[in-house]
Amino acid sequence: MRVRQLTAAAAALLLAAGGPAGCSGAPAPARTPVPAPVPAVPTAVTGDVGPPDRDAVQDGGTLRWAVDAAPATLNAYQSAATADTALLAHALYPSLFRPDEHGRPVADPDYLESADCTPPGQRPQVVTYRLNPHAVWSDGTPLSAADFTAQRAALSGLDPAYTGTRPAGYDAIDSITPGAGPQEVRVTFRQPYAEWQSLFGPLYPAVVTGSPAAFNRPLTGGPEPTAGPFLLSGYDAAGGRVSLVRSPSWWGERPKADRIDFLATPAERRLDALDQDRLDIAPLTAAVDRAGAAPAAPAAPATPAAPATPAAPAAPATPAAPATAPASATPAAAPPAGAPVAALQALRRAEALPGITVHRASAASLTQLTLNAARAPLTDPAVRQALVRAVDRRRIADAALTPLGLAAAPLGSHLLAGDQDGYRDNSSALGPVDPGRLLDAAGWKRPAGGGTRTRNGGSLVLTLLIPADSATARRTADALTANLAEAGIALRAVAAPAEAFVRDHLATGDYDLALFSWPAGPHPAVEQRAVYAKPRPGADGALEPGSNYGRSGTEEIDRLFDRAAAELDPAGRIALLQEADTRIWQLGHSVPLYQRPDLVAVRSDVAAAGAWGFTWPRFQDVGLLSR
């Protein structure tokens, strides 16, 4: 499971086509023609981890791995779960499918021998899982249909006593029964569900999900059945340490390291910890991006939203004039001008550390410029469409990524990353209309000699909300400001801290333009739908945008997502997603800009570690190179 988290521009945590991604057989459904793709441009490379050479890795040793905090739970479906929860869960619990380097779900043979789905068009949809007969929980109990049944009951939403998140798909299951043998599980769906590979990953034992009390229990460090290459051996929340050791009941390839210590290390201290030989693996994106910022006060872990059912924020504020200063509970300020210089100095320091390799890649996270359609003048579709056309995505990507040593690869899709199967640049859906002509027709005239456009005595000045202390956001904001000024649109960048970015701005509608990122996963029909779903009026008549912070949408886009989620033919599903992306471009909802940078420092004698992109570590391969 990919825990869904909103990331602000470069790093601050805020709050599929072909192959195995679906059943196969039926032809693609009839669909509205979409524009031809634009000429090919350099694409981002998601992930930077070389193929494992297990023969070159020694047997034994301890790895020291930086995390943000010792997680309060190992249950990735609890509301207290974080990205660190998901990381540890992949070392301790089964995921029947794992994404490959192109975001395609592939069966993990350590847990799953095969999975068969009924052909497209056949009802009901039945998926038959054949589990690895050697797969057992650490107490010796085999993985079985009972674990599937308990997890479905916990995550279906039928029992409100389970207080965690509710990933999409579990409510589409009609029944789960044992199959022909003890390792066979049959899952029957009440309606077609194309992205069924997203389910049961991670899979927890029935003793963890079988009752609300067990499901909701926080992590204490006590004994608990797991089924991964490692076991939990130590948990010190106050000291910020979680320790894993090899599992004696593991049936797959023997883990190379005999111990992994996950150490809570704030971003601003990671370079020092690497320099002092106290870490072997350390994500550095935040450390570089926020270099020079004052250390943040300790805070409780961020609460991620579920992939398909993000928590609905408050209704948007009453639209205000674009030049009006934000009226948030936490006042926004101009972003620090020196952030880009400090960030590059931090990156150079990381690269110069002896015995350290900085892995860099484009993360599976899509940075976009979101337009608030509920706030004038962006309530006018012509103004939104003009602004979207005016953005020079290549120029913006160059400003954001080139200083970090990454390819300036602009995004052309709202739904898929650049090297993800099915990716296509759909920006040509906008057509060749000049943005200046659209603004002229909307009444926004440019003064003689240039300058900011005006209408009825007001200037076309928009606020650009960016995360505080982010160098990548600052570079992006500067480039956007210069870019849109050429079209007569003035920007005023304002920054908000992570804890206020969503709560006080995106959720309330207190912004004009906003810069942040959404994760890109192997199941976009489900994972991305909430971001673009048409906002609905609540019981009091106020607009409830949910996770659609752009506050624009259409019934057609919703139907395309729903059809894609139910389309079992992979080619048909990706065609529907391409059409949905085309409509999102034409709506003027947002502008995809680039994939978020991902920087990971790895000690040079550590193998099979780096920037993982779509996938996650294969923990049994990570270890120390033989000397």
Assigned fold of 362-597? Dipeptide-binding Protein; domain 3 (3.10.105)
Cα–Cα distance, 204 to 200 (Å, whole number): 8
User: Structure tokens of 55?
Assistant: 């023969």
Plot region of 103 (φ>0 → left; ψ -120 to 50 → alpha; else → beta): left
Closest CA to 517 of 1, 12, 2, 121: 12
Taking a C-beta distance cutoff of 8 angstroms, is the pair 251, 140 a contact? no
Residues near 89 by beta carbon (within 8 Å), at least 6 away in sequence = 74, 75, 76, 202
For the four alpha carbons of 88, 15, 390 and 584, in that order, the dihedral sign comes to: positive
Per-residue pLDDT at 317: 30
Q: What is the pLDDT of residues 573-603, one digit of tens each?
A: 999 999 999 999 999 999 999 999 999 999 9
In the chain, where the domains are located: 73-221, 362-597
Beta bridge partners of 131: 112
Average pLDDT for 354-361? 96
Q: What is the pLDDT of residues 423-443, one digit of tens each?
A: 999 999 999 999 999 999 999
Average pLDDT for 359-366? 94
Average pLDDT for 444-473? 95
Q: What angle (nearest 5°) sits at the alpha carbon of residue 132, between those of residues 129 and 135?
A: 120
Lowest mean pLDDT of 160-169, 239-248, 293-302, 316-325, name the range. 316-325
Per-residue pLDDT at 126: 98
H or E element that contains 323: none
- DSSP secondary structure string, 27-58? PPPP----PPPPPP-------B-PPP-GGGB-
> Residue 153: helix, strand or coil by DSSP?
helix
Cα–Cα distance, 497 to 290 (Å, whole number): 12
For the four alpha carbons of 543, 549, 553 and 559, in that order, the dihedral sign comes to: negative
Average pLDDT for 116-135? 96
Average pLDDT for 454-470? 96
Q: How confident is the model at residue 338 (pLDDT cuts 50, 70, 90)?
A: low
Beta bridge partners of 194: none
Average pLDDT for 14-20? 27
36, 40, 42, 47 alpha-carbon torsion, rounded to 10°? 60
DSSP-derived pairing of the beta strands 461-467 and 490-496:
parallel
Q: Kindly tell me if the per-residue pLDDT of 321 is higher than 90.
A: no
Residue 333 φ/ψ, nearest 5 degrees: -135, 165
Q: How confident is the model at residue 605 (pLDDT cuts 50, 70, 90)?
A: very high
Residue 559 φ/ψ, nearest 5 degrees: -65, -40
User: Structure tokens of 89?
Assistant: 């869960």
User: Pick the residue with more confidence: 20 or 204?
Assistant: 204
Can you tell me which residue has the tokens 């996950």?
262
| Encoded amino acid at 101, one letter | E
User: Structure tokens of 267?
Assistant: 């971003």
Q: What is the DSSP letter of 403?
A: G
Alpha helices, DSSP H, located in 223-333: 270-275, 285-289
Taking a C-beta distance cutoff of 8 angstroms, is the pair 612, 47 a contact? yes
Q: How confident is the model at residue 39 (pLDDT cuts 50, 70, 90)?
A: very low
Per-residue pLDDT at 295: 52
User: Pick the residue with more confidence: 580 or 613?
Assistant: 580
Taking a C-beta distance cutoff of 8 angstroms, is the pair 474, 335 a contact? yes
For helices 381-390 and 471-485, the axis angle rounded to 10 degrees is: 110
Q: How confident is the model at residue 340 (pLDDT cuts 50, 70, 90)?
A: confident
Q: How confident is the model at residue 398 (pLDDT cuts 50, 70, 90)?
A: very high
State the chain's mean pLDDT as an integer.
87
> What is the share, in percent, of the chain residues with pLDDT greater than 90?
78
Q: Kindly tell me if the per-residue pLDDT of 305 is higher than 60.
A: no
User: Structure tokens of 92?
Assistant: 């301790």
Average pLDDT for 233-255? 97
Per-residue pLDDT at 43: 56
Average pLDDT for 134-152? 97
Q: How confident is the model at residue 166 (pLDDT cuts 50, 70, 90)?
A: confident
Q: What is the DSSP letter of 238?
A: T
Residue 372 half-sphere exposure, CB side, CA atoms within 13 Å? 28
**CATH number corresponding to 73-221:** 3.90.76.10
For the four alpha carbons of 188, 190, 191 and 196, in that order, the dihedral sign comes to: negative
Q: How confident is the model at residue 233 (pLDDT cuts 50, 70, 90)?
A: very high
- DSSP secondary structure string, 355-403? TEEEEEEEEEEEEEEEE-TTSTTTTSHHHHHHHHHH--HHHHHHHHHGG
Cα–Cα distance, 585 to 142 (Å, whole number): 49
HEC string for 157-178? CCCCCCCCCCCCCHHHEEEEEE
Q: What is the pLDDT of residues 180-232, one digit of tens each?
A: 988 999 999 999 999 999 999 999 999 999 999 999 999 988 888 999 999 99
| Encoded amino acid at 336, one letter | P
Per-residue pLDDT at 246: 98
Per-residue pLDDT at 222: 82
Cα–Cα distance, 290 to 271 (Å, whole number): 12
Q: Kindly tell me if the per-residue pLDDT of 258 is higher than 50.
A: yes
Taking a C-beta distance cutoff of 8 angstroms, is the pair 288, 599 a contact? yes
User: Pick the residue with more confidence: 408 or 47?
Assistant: 408
Average pLDDT for 336-343? 75
Per-residue pLDDT at 542: 84
User: Pick the residue with more confidence: 358 or 626?
Assistant: 358
Closest CA to 156 of 199, 117, 125: 199
Do 73-221 and 362-597 show the same overall fold? no
Closest CA to 337 of 215, 436, 466, 216: 466
Cα–Cα distance, 583 to 562 (Å, whole number): 14
Beta bridge partners of 109: none
Residue 340 φ/ψ, nearest 5 degrees: -60, -40
Average pLDDT for 136-155? 97
Per-residue pLDDT at 294: 52
Cα–Cα distance, 74 to 87 (Å, whole number): 9
What stretches of 441-498 adopt beta strand conformation (E)?
Answer: 454-455, 458-459, 461-467, 490-496
Cα–Cα distance, 484 to 451 (Å, whole number): 11
Residue 99 φ/ψ, nearest 5 degrees: -70, 145
Q: Is 495 exposed, middle or buried (0-12, 13-18, 19+ CB in 10 A)?
A: buried
Taking a C-beta distance cutoff of 8 angstroms, is the pair 547, 530 a contact? yes
pTM: 0.86
H or E element that contains 598: strand 590-603
Can you tell me which residue has the tokens 């001008």?
337
Q: How confident is the model at residue 165 (pLDDT cuts 50, 70, 90)?
A: confident
Average pLDDT for 298-324? 31
Per-residue pLDDT at 344: 93
